[in-house]
A and B are shown apart, each in its own frame.
Chain A
């Protein structure tokens, strides 16, 4: 309890951080480039959860934290906080996405065709252990199809709406700067549609999967059919102060539409995120599908799943229990001991 102790605390935290970082050693451009190249799906996942699209920064965050995923996302979110919002990109329609992969489980074929694109879905999950004994794994060349699939595809739900199988959600008239931004205003309930979708887009993949899976297993009302799953690139269209529109580049996005029968119509659940992350989108869309009429306090109630799938908050709170709590503990002990003493005193009283 002297000043020495204070310096001791400071020294301890500094040395413990050094110990952690010494395991990862020197971090240079080459390591970041290698991570970015070798782990695109991990990079995508953390960009989505961080709601910050920058592959280099994501790879750097992976390098800096040794892949401790909650730390990665926190690091990127904290960096995001420091950045000004320069412009708001124009909304983009599904049919305008540059599509790499697009499948529907609802129909054998769909207008525009099923486009399998890159996937491990039909691979046999066998470790290439030869790599460990010195034989590199060299992927086989891709043989391009004779007829290239169209880069732009209509949405399946648009066809269903034309055929009066479902009602598309009403188009919200808000534009640009007026679109509610979850990172600039608190999430309140009933939540704004934009907040719900943004929150799911940023949600922690494992958390969304756990709650989405509970809904799929029967703790939700609606059983999902994957209407459409899409991996694509979206053009980021912004306005120059002079008024002209231009593309600032493309970002990878994924999205899922799931549907369920509700009376004579289909109900639609939707989710999208930055980067390619199929599990998250299907699980998130399933939660969205189940929201309507969900009882308070159930996994499919919006307030319940949006709060509990926020990875930075949930992981932070979880690890905060490592912090000393001896004051609160002391306060509880005092109440417990007093209650116990009261009870003992009561037992000692002679019977009336």
Chain B
């Protein structure tokens, strides 16, 4: 009979990364820790040749190429990695899916500073009542633009990373700037 396969280090990292992402998205605003302080484990855990990726971080491009994913413009990308987000107009082009297929809405990974910056209050699925936290490093008007662009269940889902810490904000979360 078969012997139990051994978990490789890559497999273990993918598993741990996804655990962090799933937990973070299920509890918006509560940070989880990635195996290393970069977007790299997120790419390894989620991205392969079935994906269409937009990435403006030149350091990540070789890894995305290796994954076999298509690199495309932000329009039509299912995964968006933005090391720098200067202009919130970029959000207009992020895929929001449709009422028929909300899953076509993109997953967007941004770099932020957690525990510093403007205070926001979250509510919605995954939040026990309300939760307030500080999220810095996003351009002014970001949350207002997100709200204006989302028509639930259409929208996009955010992972906000600061070092190895990641916070998830799905489209179902209501974000108020305090």
Contact = CB atoms under 8 A, between A and B. Distances in A.
Let me know if chains A and B touch directly in the complex, using CB atoms closer than 8 Å. Answer: yes
B3 to A, nearest CB: 15
A262 interface: no
B50 interface: yes
Contacts of A185: 50
A185 B48 CA distance: 13
B151 interface: no
B11 to A, nearest CB: 14
Contacts of A177: 49, 68
Interface in A291-342: none
Interface in B130-165: none
B65 to A, nearest CB: 14
B50 to A, nearest CB: 6
Contacts of B50: 184-185
Interface string B56-84: 00000000000010000000000000000
Interface in A175-224: 177, 184-185
Interface in B34-53: 49-50
A185 B49 CA distance: 12
Q: For chain B, give the interface size range.
A: under 10
A184 B49 CA distance: 11
Contacts of B49: 177
Q: For chain A, give the interface size range.
A: under 10
B131 to A, nearest CB: 34
A177 B67 CA distance: 13
B40 to A, nearest CB: 22
A250 to B, nearest CB: 27
Nearest to B50: A184
Interface in B95-132: none
Nearest to A177: B49
A174 B3 CA distance: 41
Contacts of A184: 50
Contacts of B68: 177
Interface in A64-107: none
A185 B78 CA distance: 15
A303 to B, nearest CB: 15
A184 B68 CA distance: 14
A187 to B, nearest CB: 14
B119 to A, nearest CB: 41
A185 B103 CA distance: 13
A184 B48 CA distance: 12
A185 B101 CA distance: 14
A79 B129 CA distance: 47
A177 B49 CA distance: 8
A185 B104 CA distance: 13
A325 to B, nearest CB: 31
A17 to B, nearest CB: 12
Nearest to B49: A177
Nearest to B68: A177
A268 to B, nearest CB: 30
Interface string B13-53: 00000000000000000000000000000000000011000
A75 to B, nearest CB: 14
Nearest to A178: B70
A185 B50 CA distance: 9
A163 B49 CA distance: 42
A13 to B, nearest CB: 14
Nearest to A184: B50
A1 B68 CA distance: 51
Nearest to B48: A184
Interface of B: 49-50, 68
4 contacts: A177-B49, A177-B68, A184-B50, A185-B50
Q: Which 3 A-B pairs have the closest CB atoms?
A: A184-B50, A177-B49, A185-B50
